[in-house]
Amino acid sequence: MGDFNDYLTLSEKIGGDMSRCPSVQFQSFVDDYELHPHYPLGSPFTWSNRQKQPYHTQERLDWCLSNADWDANFPNSRLLHGDFFGSDHRPLILTLHFQADQPTPTPRFIFDKLWLSEPGFEDCLLNALPLPNQSPSHNPLHGLTKKLENCLRRTVGDGTTISIFNDAWIPGYGKLHYLRHNSDVYTTVANLLTPTKEWNLTSLQNTFPSDNCQAILTIPLTNIGTPDSYFWSFTPHGTYTVSSGYHQAHTQLHHNDPASSNSTASQDWWKQMWTLPLPPKLKHFLWRTCHDILPTSHNLFKRKILPSSSCCRCLYHDETLEHAPFRCPAVQGIWNCRNKWLHTSLSTAPTQVLLSVVDFLDQYQSCNMKASGSNHAQSVCLLSKEKDPTIPSYHLRLSVDVAKDVQLNKMGFGMAIHTHQGEVLLNLAMPWCGLHSPLLMEAHALYFALLWCHNHSIYPDAIVSDCKI
């Protein structure tokens, strides 16, 4: 028992170079020592080149041979071809005392059992099943069945259940609906076989074009009456794996996404992009942007890394690929400063930032005065914590504060809104990277707090800050 690196008959090979004949020396060895092979349970092929069609090849290179004396001592032995498990050869599992009622091995795929044990599974299934008067086309399971059928291919056994026009069974070809006029619509593959289980060349040539005939002749046949079955078309060995199912579902879900750099349609464009005289990190950033794999809050939230998809700057919109570099108000301010510096050589000084905050405060105060309909001028008092009035003279009070951590090179901003009765309506905090002067940090915090209140239609009439500058 082991790898003999050869096969005995043409039925033990599928695909590849069919000019390579079975080994005469191997057959002579079997005959000289009066050996015979054990036929396995499961797939007859033990080796695969792990390539996709039309280059996919499978052969039976691993054998278990025995003589009559050995069979007499172990009459209940059974041979099983295991899974590839990442190798190009299947393991040979020989059971000396085979029992039909032996315990079932631990399954590798247990999702179905977990799903069946989930509370509410039956209700979910009943909601998905069609009603007696419901059209099958409106049933979600019906659509899923159609998708799964497109992922499967038929493997020829006795050929009695495979329709030559309605099933995908020819390597490298799909369903041949356009050839129905050449023969009976209900013709099966069994009608293309001779009584000795060989391909009927006359029937093939009368039904199919020459290229289809050549592909059909590469399909191996066996004299054993095995039934027709299915195989998964997205793995070289034909067995379904969770990885292949995930990649196929991901491909169907993102088929409208920007094309990757190895697709034929955009190959020239990507070649020109990779050869541009740009820094590598810029080209890599463009590639990640086209594939939407930047670490935005929206993407990190979908992967259960962040608790929220909100933008960490404006704290209002979702930080998507469009919002992060273009739509965020904070980013738009950065773009404006950049354009002024690039085109007019002007940069915003800290004093200018402070003046902008004061102007915004004056505008905010003026709008509040007009909205309240007050006839006398009101001013928004900047109160310190030491000079809070004993009797509140406000309806809503905004408290703003900033802290810094020199070791971590970070600063934090916080704001709170209180009623005149002392009730806390809102607490908001956010970290910022980098350190600035105390005056600039307080100005940034006040500007952000007022902007946030304005965007959310909150109009405090008192502001508290501990800034003493």
- The pLDDT value given to residue 182: 62
- Give the pLDDT band of residue 132 (cuts 50, 70, 90): low
Q: Cβ atoms within 10 A of the Cβ of 58, count?
A: 22
- Higher-pLDDT residue of 385 and 131 is 131
Q: With a cut of 50, say whether residue 123 has pLDDT above it.
A: yes
Averaged pLDDT for residues 68-92 = 84
| Amino acid symbol at 332 | Q
- The pLDDT value given to residue 393: 55
Question: Which of 131-135, 193-197, 294-298 shows the lowest per-residue confidence on average (mean pLDDT)?
Answer: 131-135
pLDDT digits 0-9 by tens, 22-62: 788 888 888 888 888 888 877 788 888 877 766 778 888 88
pLDDT digits 0-9 by tens, 255-276: 665 555 555 657 788 888 888 9
d(C-alpha 392, C-alpha 395), whole Å: 8
Averaged pLDDT for residues 139-166 = 79
CB contact at 8 A, 407 and 363: no
Residue showing tokens 């004056």: 362
- The pLDDT value given to residue 131: 62
- Higher-pLDDT residue of 175 and 132 is 175
pLDDT digits 0-9 by tens, 219-236: 877 666 678 888 888 887
- Higher-pLDDT residue of 356 and 142 is 356
Averaged pLDDT for residues 196-218 = 85
Averaged pLDDT for residues 334-352 = 77
- The pLDDT value given to residue 223: 65
d(C-alpha 96, C-alpha 1), whole Å: 13
- The pLDDT value given to residue 423: 83
- The pLDDT value given to residue 426: 83
State which H helix or E strand residue 48 sits in: strand 47-48
- The pLDDT value given to residue 382: 42
- Going by C-alpha positions, the residue among 373, 415, 374 that lies closest to residue 396 is 415
Q: With a cut of 60, say whether residue 308 has pLDDT above it.
A: yes
| Rounded to 5°, angle at Cα 193 from 187 and 194 | 135
Among left, alpha and beta (phi > 0; psi -120 to 50; other), residue 199 is beta
DSSP reduced 3-state for 426: strand
Question: Which of 171-180, 314-323, 457-466 shows the lowest per-residue confidence on average (mean pLDDT)?
Answer: 171-180
- Give the pLDDT band of residue 377 (cuts 50, 70, 90): very low
CB contact at 8 A, 165 and 176: yes
Across the chain, mean pLDDT equals 78
- Give the pLDDT band of residue 379 (cuts 50, 70, 90): very low
DSSP state letters, 398-455: EEEEEEEETTTTEEEEEEEEEETT--EEEEEEEEEES---HHHHHHHHHHHHHHHHHH
Note the pTM of the prediction, 2 decimals. 0.35
- The pLDDT value given to residue 101: 53
Averaged pLDDT for residues 9-18 = 76
- Residue 350 CB-half CA count within 13 A: 8
